[in-house]
Chain A
Amino acid sequence: MQRYNVPVLVCLAGLALCLASQYGWLDLYVQTTIMFLFINVIMSTSLNLINGNMGEFACGHAGFMCVGAYVSSIVSVALFAKSSYFGEPLLDPSWAVVGMPLSLLAGGAVAAVTGLLVAFPSFRTRGDYLAIVTLAANYIIMSVFVNLDTVGGPRGFMGMKKVVSAMNDVLDIPWMMLWTFAFTVFTVFILRRFLWSSLGKGVMAVHQDEIAAEIMSVNTNRIKLVAFMLSSGLAGIAGGLLAHIMGYVNPSAFGILKSTEAMVMVYLGGMGSLTGAVLSAVLMTGLGEVLRPLGILKWVVIPLLLVLLMQFRPAGIMGNRELADVFPRLRRFYKFK
């Protein structure tokens, strides 16, 4: 049996998506849905690191997305677009082609640092108490941006469309599709590498028995620090992507509802399963779109499906297993390094 090379397949899929968007085989609605799907994948896989693998109950994930969204938007608008906030762009707008992804990374970095807001309390408390801390962090972050009048306050911040169109002026390809896809692959890739290493296994050890972990030489505080920073940093990237796709960012979009959405995807997919998190993000986004004709009834059907699923598969779709554990035959088709 031939083993296909995962990176090659992934690149081909990305290329196919970009080509399909470029030549209009996918209409704008489908394109946007696909991009939201990718953002949901980043959201659920990154939260899965905390809620699934580390066994904490973090319910403020949207807060970190908010930080990433604002920071990357501010950076890219200030550098590459004329705006009412910062006036003339600091750099030539054509630089946006390189600068936009870097601004996303900057947003992720700042979000990672904001993650310390939760990481430090997690040294001393856990479980329900830490859940309150994460909730508080979410509210603090939202309030900060609501009250920052220089970037629009409660009215929100915009101008990212200009950055994206500046990129399109240089080369007319579906940039946002490209970068959303690339960052999604990046997220899953580094999470997979992290979680399969001896260092990353420490995260599971902290979940299953923190005292044993500490006694067995695992620096549990460092593990928590790394996990929270990684998770919130990736959430920040997801936020930045969302802001650039929408062209508009508003603090109230990153409230507890958004955090809940991420949590639903983690628990639906199965705690601690990376493929489960990806699968459930696809499923939730897909369901949301497929059931759109139902109108308001959609919000009866989807939660009902959730209730039924939890009734019959209380551990989520995948439990804590990966796709390759459930279907070992899949291993014959690929080799992951």
Chain B
Amino acid sequence: MIVATPRFRLEPYVQFAQKAMAREATYRFDVFTSIASVLVRVYLLRMVWVALYARNTAPSDLPLHAIITYSTVALLMGLVMDIDQTRMLHDRLHSGDIATDFMKPIVVPLYFFADGSGEVIFHAVLIVPSLLLALLIVHIDVPGPLVLGTFFVSFFLGYLVGFCINFILNCVAFWTLEIHAVQLIVTWVTDLFGGEIIPLVIFPAFLQKVAFALPFAAMFSTPLLIYIGVIKPERYAAALGLQAFWVVVLGFVATVMWRAGAKRVIVQGG
């Protein structure tokens, strides 16, 4: 049974987000390890690219400093992008609490979104110390305001794509509860085909075609290629448009799955 929502109020969702932030802040060790992990990877990727560029001819549009910038910014983005913002949906399906959530006078998906956003904002704050410490290991290029501004817009669109993919995966839990392995598999595929570890432009031609046709490229590759200037301003509209296209398509799939899943819970009585 769903209680009709009388009048929409934003305050509860702000509260949910604040609660989530406070919760995340209590895991100090996790904070420490996420920053340490970023720094270790910054070092590792720097050494890898230096070694590769030392003995081979460099690609003309991707000099060493650009690829090191790419990797470092990708790792910092990962602090936010690699969070499973809607894990709560899966957890509450597991515990059965989802049944009582439906009875509360709230919009349930928005509740999950608020909780996830709180977590994300907390991790976004970690980018600052990580960036400062990373600058001790590498030098990164900072582009002009137009590029930087477009990068942030593109990053946000990429974040929405990631959110939808996570939401869809967590919706699978309506039908089968064992989704952890599937999520991990998708994470590996995203890391590689999203361009988080290796820029898609150095993939061999046929793999590049595959990778650019998948939605994962909209998560990391597009904002990062804008940042390092491989995507030039005249192609900004097309690049952002493609990202927006994926947000709409995946958002639609997520909505359909959510409706079907919610119906299932309500019909079965939780």
Same complex for A and B? Answer no
Binding site for A on B (CB under 8 A): none
